[in-house]
Structure 1
């Protein structure tokens, strides 16, 4: 039931669910139904219904023997996303600015979050002849643009297939890849070479170059890319964009703790 409280829309059931989560701390890592009922001053049937819903979505787990609840892995997953995003942006920020200054192109930083490409940082090119609609916080299909293929290329095959089933490839331009087999083969090429050159598959007349950013464990956690008008860069200029973008992604990765003993040379 929604009521108005302090000038905002207020949901009592949601509040109670959040109170259940907040009842857990380092001193109370597992709680029984009766304990939660006493803490929240709510009936056991109400607590049970709320806990069952939270358990269904992974926010709580229940020990089958003791019947006590504890916080679920979904909270850890969400917390790691927040932590990674904040630390990632802080680490990447100077490198993105430097990359933008070196190339004079629009620079993006993105991650995969909730099965979508999420833009978490951006540097506009000065005096750019085109304005990109993608902004910080914007979401796109997981394969979108230059960042999406990089982020998808390093996923397990079954995860790639799941994402393509959930978000089928669409025809955005005459150069868009709309067949799953061809797209997956392209992802393999991206993974092998360590970067992507996206030539007008999403926007007419726009090319993008992107490279993966890795965490200390070696997992690809983000992608950094440069976008520009296709006709503004010749073959020599494209080589520079690739070299600078891959170098920026590698430098960000190193600051995140990544160390590649068999390091692929930066393309010349």
Structure 2
């Protein structure tokens, strides 16, 4: 049986200790409670603090859980609820639109695909749950950048790789696309990420009216577009799906 990594076990025990009991604990309290030398406890705390999992009160020197740990926990809950609420609506969207449907969330300067419904035909397809998509060129990414300030900051700072001749890489061009997304309530990607592929996506909001994800349709340009633009009925279907998921998450009318 493989051995556990002792330093990780100690860090986990430290986080559990800070999660219960008093709000803040001093170095001596933490070391004593876990049976560690002060130097060992301080080294682990320093690493956790550097990663944002622990914060130190500058006045008292005591430690408490950090915002990064709380953010990760909230994200875990949000993503699982988002997927659960979206299952029925994304299946309906794939059937009505005749194309593959993707549900994405912000993750590490990109879009993480957390749910994928295959195109409803007999063609061979590969499940892309867990795949990453760029923010600057995909419909899902533009939506997140338009409605999530954190995603927008990531978009500005991230490297904007050219995938096709139509990929927007200059910041001014990307910002115009983000502004257009906010104005119309949806985003499109017509051969900006993959040659011959087009997509349309809309934002999903939670009960706090925060954008927690984006849902969209992706398919061959000749099926998704007419006259170089995404077909209006697909835009409407995607927006209806996004509204339905948002309502199930407790968002008010919009």
Task: For residue 230 of structure 1, report the CA deviation from its aligned partner.
Answer: 0.9
Q: Residue 169 of structure 2 aligns with which residue?
A: 178
Q: Residue 266 of structure 1 aligns with which residue?
A: none
Q: Residue 61 of structure 1 aligns with which residue?
A: 55
CA distance in 2, matches of 1:179, 1:196: 18
Q: Residue 252 of structure 1 aligns with which residue?
A: 245
- Contact 1:117–1:141 (CA under 8 A) maintained in structure 2: yes
Q: Does 1:224 align with 2:224?
A: no
Task: For residue 144 of structure 1, report the CA deviation from its aligned partner.
Answer: 4.2
Task: For residue 126 of structure 1, report the CA deviation from its aligned partner.
Answer: 2.4
TM-score normalised by the chain length of structure 1: 0.86
Q: Residue 147 of structure 2 aligns with which residue?
A: 154
Q: Residue 7 of structure 1 aligns with which residue?
A: 2
SS of 2:203's equivalent in the other structure is strand
Task: For residue 234 of structure 1, report the CA deviation from its aligned partner.
Answer: 5.3
Contiguous gaps of at least 5 residues in structure 1:
1-5, 264-268
- Contact 1:89–1:120 (CA under 8 A) maintained in structure 2: yes
Task: For residue 97 of structure 1, report the CA deviation from its aligned partner.
Answer: 0.7
Q: Does 1:192 align with 2:183?
A: yes
- Contact 2:136–2:168 (CA under 8 A) maintained in structure 1: no
TM-score normalised by the chain length of structure 2: 0.91
Task: For residue 188 of structure 1, report the CA deviation from its aligned partner.
Answer: 0.4
**Match for 2:77 among 83, 92, 98?**
83
- Contact 2:198–2:224 (CA under 8 A) maintained in structure 1: no
CA distance in 2, matches of 1:122, 1:72: 33
Q: Residue 3 of structure 1 aligns with which residue?
A: none
CA RMSD of aligned residues (A): 2.2
Q: Residue 205 of structure 2 aligns with which residue?
A: 214
Q: Deviations over 1:154-186 (max 9, x none)?
A: 244x96355333x22222112211221111111
1:14-33 aligned at under 5 Å gives the runs 14-33=8-27
Number of residue-to-residue matches in the alignment: 252
CA distance in 2, matches of 1:128, 1:189: 36
CA distance in 2, matches of 1:43, 1:13: 13
SS of 2:231's equivalent in the other structure is helix
- Contact 2:198–2:225 (CA under 8 A) maintained in structure 1: no
1:41-120 aligned at under 5 Å gives the runs 41-120=35-114
- Contact 1:172–1:202 (CA under 8 A) maintained in structure 2: yes
Q: Which moved more, 1:53-62 or 1:87-96?
A: 53-62
Contiguous gaps of at least 5 residues in structure 2:
none
